[in-house]
């Protein structure tokens, strides 16, 4: 089985320190390709550096380049040019993480919207896909996306945790949906279960968002409480169950979807355990 984790915050200090061992465990678990999430100009540069450090062939590790809504206050006149330079590098495959977070509001909303619009314009100019973050802001995100959608090749709402209405609106805009271990959370993720089968196979991708969102159903639980790409099969199994698919079917579908979305190469896997 081959899986692709489309959301890994590998530059996060809790993961970066153990990156080599973590990547080996991912490989052994069948997670053969990873897309590292860039959340600021500096983190996007660091993500690309990690791709180069741990995958000199450029076939297994890829990254995004963008400014997260939490970091939108850092957006300045130099940000666009810095991201544009990164997006010209072979292993950088999408604009983002960008979007709106009206839940935590770590940056003022007008600044979040400005940073998002500038990044969508950049994606349109470069004809690159977009990795979107949205929390408690689906209405506003949809309004902004209306203006850009026709000019974007593709966009994924990563870590979708919303309600049916938001999901359908995103699918109507022909967006992709990223699903995390949120669906393994019996306290706040069960509303997603009946929605999972409504996501077309060609629009669904899986991600850990590690080190965040450790799947609560995972046994045994890691003592450090940290999520990592090797736990992606836990999410695969939970999503497959609610879609009445086998994990193998869903893995084939989501891997093909991620490869098409990010333009990733098909690779042969030699050391992954078959399960």
Q: Coil, helix or strand for 67?
A: coil
Q: Coil, helix or strand for 33?
A: strand
Would you say 133 or 243 has its CB closer to Zn ion?
133
Q: Considering the complex, what minimum distance in angstroms separates the CB of residue 241 from Zn ion?
A: 24
47-74: burial string, b at 16+ Cβ within 10 Å, e else? bbebbeebbeeeebbbbbbbbbbbbbee
Would you say 97 or 238 has its CB closer to Zn ion?
97
Binding interface with Zn ion (CB under 5 A): 133
Would you say 30 or 129 has its CB closer to Zn ion?
129
Q: Considering the complex, what minimum distance in angstroms separates the CB of residue 119 from Zn ion?
A: 14
Hey, what are 100's tokens?
């709106």
CA distances from 228 to 6, 85, 163, 232, 268 (A): 12, 29, 26, 8, 22
Q: Considering the complex, what minimum distance in angstroms separates the CB of residue 127 from Zn ion?
A: 23
Would you say 1 or 155 has its CB closer to Zn ion?
155
Q: Considering the complex, what minimum distance in angstroms separates the CB of residue 180 from Zn ion?
A: 9
Would you say 182 or 231 has its CB closer to Zn ion?
182
Q: Considering the complex, what minimum distance in angstroms separates the CB of residue 9 from Zn ion?
A: 9
Given its phi and psi angles, is residue 136 left (phi above 0), alpha (psi -120 to 50 degrees) or beta? Answer: left
Q: Considering the complex, what minimum distance in angstroms separates the CB of residue 219 from Zn ion?
A: 26
CB atoms within 10 A of CB 191: 13
Helix axes 79-87 and 41-54, enclosed angle (nearest 10)? 20
Rounded Cα–Cα distance for residues 69 and 53 (Å): 28
Q: Coil, helix or strand for 178?
A: strand
Would you say 207 or 234 has its CB closer to Zn ion?
207
Which residue is nearest to Zn ion, using beta carbons?
A: 133
């Amino acid at each position: 089985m081959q899986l692709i984790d489309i959301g890994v915050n590998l530059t996060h200090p809790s993961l970066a320190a153990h990156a080599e061992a973590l990547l080996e465990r991912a490989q052994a678990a069948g997670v053969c390709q990873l897309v590292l999430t860039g959340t600021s100009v500096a983190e996007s540069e660091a993500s690309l550096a990690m791709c180069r450090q741990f995958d000199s062939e450029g076939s297994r590790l890829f990254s995004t380049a963008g400014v997260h809504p939490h970091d939108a206050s850092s957006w300045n006149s130099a940000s666009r040019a810095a991201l544009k330079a990164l997006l010209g590098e072979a292993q950088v495959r999408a604009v983002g993480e960008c979007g709106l977070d009206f839940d935590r509001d770590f940056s003022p909303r007008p600044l979040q919207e400005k940073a998002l619009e500038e990044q969508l314009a950049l994606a349109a100019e470069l004809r690159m896909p977009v990795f979107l973050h949205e929390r408690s802001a689906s209405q506003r995100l949809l309004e902004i996306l209306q203006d850009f959608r026709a000019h974007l090749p593709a966009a994924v709402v990563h870590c979708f945790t919303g309600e049916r209405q938001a999901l359908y609106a995103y699918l109507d805009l022909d967006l992709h949906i990223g699903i995390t271990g949120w669906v393994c959370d019996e306290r706040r993720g069960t509303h997603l279960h009946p929605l999972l089968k409504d996501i077309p196979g060609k629009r669904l991708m899986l991600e850990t968002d590690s080190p965040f969102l450790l799947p609560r159903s995972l046994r045994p639980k890691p003592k450090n409480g940290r999520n990592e790409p090797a736990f992606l099969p836990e999410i695969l199994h939970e999503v497959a169950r609610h879609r009445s698919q086998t994990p193998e079917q869903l893995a084939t579908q989501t891997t093909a979807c991620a490869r098409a979305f990010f333009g990733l190469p098909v690779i042969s896997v030699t050391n992954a355990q078959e399960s």
